Amino acid sequence: MFFSTRLPKSLEPNQFTKILEEKRATGAKILDLTQANPTTAGFAFGPAFPISPADEPAKGYEPSAQGLLATREAIGEYYLNNNHGRIDSDDLLLTASTSEAYSFLLKLLTDPGDEILIPAPSYPLFDFLATLENVRPSRYMLREDTAGHWRIDFTSLEGEISRLTRAIVVVNPNNPTGSYMTADELQRLSALCLTHDLALIVDEVFLDYKNPGSSATPISAIAGNTALTFTMSGLSKVLALPQVKLSWIHVNGPEPQKTMAKQRLEFIADTYLSVNSMIQHAAGALFSCQEGVQREILARIRTNETLLQSQTGLTPALREGGWYAILNLPETIGDEQCCLDLLRESAVLVHPGFFYDFVENNRIVVSLITPEEDFRLGLLLLQDYFNSQHRI
């Protein structure tokens, strides 16, 4: 075969994309309840960002594998200002995106054929991020406890550890379950990593978006130093700026692994030097917009979640944070059928739970940053659909 086996065998669009394209071709308005791109979701904050493209290039090019010190210091301030903890800017390395951070970490930690443990349900991109690095993703389960909190199933996690496992990935809070990693989970994960010689990779892009109605206590993994711990985040969610392409990896853990990891990450980053200098210079000013941006996003989430609770007969799962809601379907309707019906018949787009590897087939996922009017109209159609199913 001509092309790498790292790539999917077929790049054909899936059934959902095909129906979506057919609908769009007819000029139909799609009520997309999965909208997660903050730049097209009708927020007011966009134009206020203090980037001046006209004069930034004049600052010149100072190639730095780790990233400019002033930018790393601005990120350190972000952690302090948000009560996430204190970091040393020397423990940070900049990347162009969180996805790139994953690829750097897999280059650092794995050889072809190795395995990483990823949560299920969780972020659908993991399969691609892993296989593009020739690594096999192996899933451990999150389960709802009796109070409805999604927690790590340590029996399933330990059962998946093999001699090929190199790292455990945690998303804090997880997408789409919105569950924060607890202090106890961090401690147990670190202990497991130490015992089995694994690294801990924690993705905290949604850390700031706590549900004010939840009693969860967000904790960042930056303080985790028992095992080699990599904590990632970036401006795509912190400032709702996916287009500026600035993320970071924080490294912590016992010596000499910590220093060795930092040196090797710098070597990888130096090979690409992918982070735009203009954005690095602008980062300090950009962070000054954080409060306004996050306030507006949290207000949108609150409005949509209130609608969800008042306008549908469906019970959303408990949500500690993040941008997504999980809806539990009536037992009689499967997620795939429900999503295909809604798209075909009502032009409403919602995600089936299987996109996120839910084991149950009665979950659908919506984005709570969807523009409010689309969300309201979409929920009405969703309710009509469920009423019609009841009558059958």
Ligand X SMILES: Cc1ncc(COP(=O)(O)O)c(C=O)c1O
Nearer to ligand X, 175 or 231 (CB): 175
Site for ligand X in 165-184 (CB under 6 A): 171, 175
Q: Long-range contacts of range 129-135, CB-CB < 8 Å, 24 or more positions apart? A: 129/99, 129/102, 129/103, 130/106, 131/6, 132/6, 132/7, 132/103, 133/6, 133/103, 133/106, 133/107, 134/6, 134/110, 135/106, 135/110, 135/166
Question: Is residue 98 part of the contact set for ligand X (CB under 6 A)?
Answer: yes
Least distance to ligand X, CB of residue 270, Å: 20
Contact 34, 371 (CB under 8 A): no
Contact letters (x/-) for ligand X, 219-258, by CB under 6 A? ---------------x-x-----x----x-----------
Candidates 38-46, 52-60, 97-105, 207-215: pick the segment binding ligand X (CB under 6 A). Answer: 97-105
Question: Is residue 277 part of the contact set for ligand X (CB under 6 A)?
Answer: no
What six digits make up the tokens of 196?
């089995």
Burial of 29 (0-12, 13-18, 19+ CB in 10 A): exposed
89, 97, 231, 277: residue in contact with ligand X (rule CB under 6 A):
97
Least distance to ligand X, CB of residue 13, Å: 20
Residue 364: name the closest of 375, 356, 353, 374 by CA. 353
Question: Is residue 126 part of the contact set for ligand X (CB under 6 A)?
Answer: no
Nearer to ligand X, 34 or 236 (CB): 236
Question: Is residue 203 part of the contact set for ligand X (CB under 6 A)?
Answer: yes
Give the single-character DSSP code of 391.
H
Least distance to ligand X, CB of residue 95, Å: 8
Least distance to ligand X, CB of residue 92, Å: 15
Query: Which spans in 26-81 are helix H?
Result: 69-81
Report how far apart, in Å, the C-alpha atoms of 269 and of each of 72, 100, 220, 293 are. Answer: 15, 10, 24, 30
**Count residues contacting ligand X (CB under 6 A)?**
12
The binding site for ligand X (CB under 6 A) comprises: 97-99, 123, 171, 175, 203, 205, 234, 236, 242, 247
